[in-house]
Chains A and B, each alone.
Chain A
Amino acid sequence: MSILYCNCTYAKVVPVEVKRDVLRRLSDSGRAFDAVADLCDMSARKDPALKKIAEGGCTQIAACYPRAVKWLFHAAGTPLPDAGVTVLNMREDSADDVVKELLA
C-alpha cells in the first residue's frame, strides 16, 4: 500500500488548514509517502511521474474530488487502476476524516 498527497499548490481550492493538518499528521506518522505539488499541473504536463504513481500500486490519494482525480490521471494517459484506489477529498472532508482513512 502506498500514499500520495496532493498539495494543490497552484490554486487555493483546497482549504489551507485542511491540507496543512493532513500533511502535518502524515509527516508525523512514520509512514512512507509521496507528495506532489499539484496533480492538475502534472496532468497538464503529462508528467511521466504520474505513470510511476499509477503503476506503482498507489492505493490512497489525498487530493480533492475523486471524479476529478480519476480523469486527471486519464487525461495524462496514465489511468488509475479500476479498483483498489481510494481518493480522499480534502476539499470537502475534514482533516480528521481524511487522516483516519489515509492512515487506516
Chain B
Amino acid sequence: MSRTEGKNLRVVLYEGPGSTPLADDDRFAALAALLDNGFEVTRPVAGQHVAPADDAPVLVLGLLDPLDTPPEVAPGQEVHFRNLADGDLLEAARAVREATGARKLEAWKPWFPVIDYDRCTNCMQCLTFCLFDVYGVDKQQQITVQNQDNCKTDCPACSRVCPEVAILFPKYGKGPINGDVVRAEDIQREAMKVDISTLLGGDLYGALRSRQKDARKRFSTERDESKALLERKRCLGKLKKDLDIPDEVLMTLPSAEDIEERAARARAKLAKRQAISQTVKDTRPAPSETEWGI
C-alpha cells in the first residue's frame, strides 16, 4: 500500500446518555493523545452538527455504562465500542485500528505541491522542471499533481520556478509558498529566483548537464579529479541556495542521461499538447467573408 492510501479510523468521544461525562482535563488529554497519534476525533453534542458518517470504521470511546445496551447503528456501518474505564485509551484505539485495517500513523511529512488554480496560467514550467514526474496533465490538458508520492520531502524547488507563485507546500516554513497571501514583492522575488536559475544555464537540467560536461573536460585535460568534484559541489551548492533544494534531493538527482531522457519526454508531452490545441484551432469552421471584412 502506498503511503497515501487507506482509511482512517474515526474515534467518537461519547459523553451522551448511557455514559458518564468526562472531566475537562481527561477529555482534553484524550483528544490531544488521539490526534497526536493520527486518529480523527469527533466530539458530538446533542442538537449540534458534526460531519456525517461515511464508510470509515468508527470507534466509540467513553465512560460507557456497562449495563446499557449500545445504541443501534446504520446497517453496513462498522462501529466498535470501548469503555474508557477498562484501560488505556490509546491501546484500545490502536487495537481497533489494527483489527479494522485502518491506516496507522506513519513517520512521514505530507509533502507535495498543491496548485492554486486562481493563480496558475497552465504554462507547464513545473511539469518540464520536475525531475521526478510529480506533475502531469488531466483530460482537459490542465496541469495537475499526479504522483504526489514521488515528491522529495522538503524540496520546494518547483514552486521557485513557477512564475505565478501558484505552487504551495503547506508544510513549508516561509510564505508565500506555505499558503500565505502573495504580495507584489513576492512575485518580484520569485521572478528573480527564476532569473538566477536561468543564469545557471537555462534550467536545472541545463545547468547540471553543462557542469557535468565541464567536469568531464576537466577530468580529461587536467586529470584533477578533486578540482572537478569541488566545482560540481560549488555548482550544486549554488542551486541548493537559489532554489532551496535539500542535500538529500541533490544526492538523488538522476544521471545526466536520465535527465536528458526526462527532458525529451517532457518536450514530447508539451509538443503533443500543443499539437492537440492546434488541431482544435484547425478544425474550427473557416471564417465567413464578412468575418474577413471583405
Chain A positions within 8 Å of B, measured between CB atoms, are 1-2, 4, 7, 9-11, 13, 20, 23-24, 27-28, 30-38, 40-49, 51-53, 55-58, 64-69, 71-72, 74-75, 91-92
Contacts and interface: CB of A to CB of B under 8 A. Distances in A.
Given A27-B27, A44-B110, A71-B115, A49 B173 contact: no
A37 B54 contact: no
Given A27-B27, A44-B110, A75 B115 contact: yes
B110 A43 contact: yes
Contacts of B5: 45
Contact of B55 (A4, A48, A56, A72): A48
A73 B99 CA distance: 29
Contacts of B53: 52
B261 to A, nearest CB: 28
Interface string B1-41: 00011111010000000000000100110011001111111
B54 A52 contact: yes
A2 B49 contact: yes
A45 B116 CA distance: 18
B8 A40 contact: no
Contacts, number: 154
A45 B3 CA distance: 8
Contacts of B27: 27-28
Contacts of A13: 170-173, 178
Contacts of A20: 32
Q: Can you list the 8 inter-chain pairs with the closest CB atoms, starting with the nearest?
A: A68-B179, A65-B179, A32-B48, A40-B110, A7-B35, A32-B45, A68-B170, A2-B49
Contacts of A55: 52
Contacts of A53: 51
Interface in B169-185: 170-173, 175, 178-181
A30 B27 CA distance: 11
Interface string B192-216: 0000000000000000000000000
Contacts of B180: 65, 67, 92
A38 to B, nearest CB: 6
Q: Which of A10, A23, A31 has the most CB of B within 10 A?
A: A10
A11 B109 contact: yes
B49 A56 contact: yes
Q: Which of A13, A45, A74 has the most CB of B within 10 A?
A: A45
A38 B110 contact: yes
A72 B145 CA distance: 12
B28 A47 contact: no
19 contacts: A9-B38, A11-B110, A13-B173, A23-B28, A23-B35, A31-B45, A32-B49, A34-B43, A35-B41, A35-B42, A37-B8, A49-B56, A52-B52, A56-B50, A65-B175, A67-B179, A68-B114, A68-B168, A75-B145
Nearest to A45: B4
Contacts of A43: 110, 114
A37 B10 CA distance: 11
A63 B181 CA distance: 15
Interface in B34-82: 35-45, 48-56
B31, B117, B181: which has the most chain A beta carbons within 10 Å?
A: B31
A4 B117 CA distance: 24
Contacts of B172: 13
B83 interface: no
B38 A2 contact: no
B100 interface: no
B148 interface: yes
B51 A49 contact: yes
A21 to B, nearest CB: 11
Given A2-B50, A9-B36, A49-B40, A72 B31 contact: no
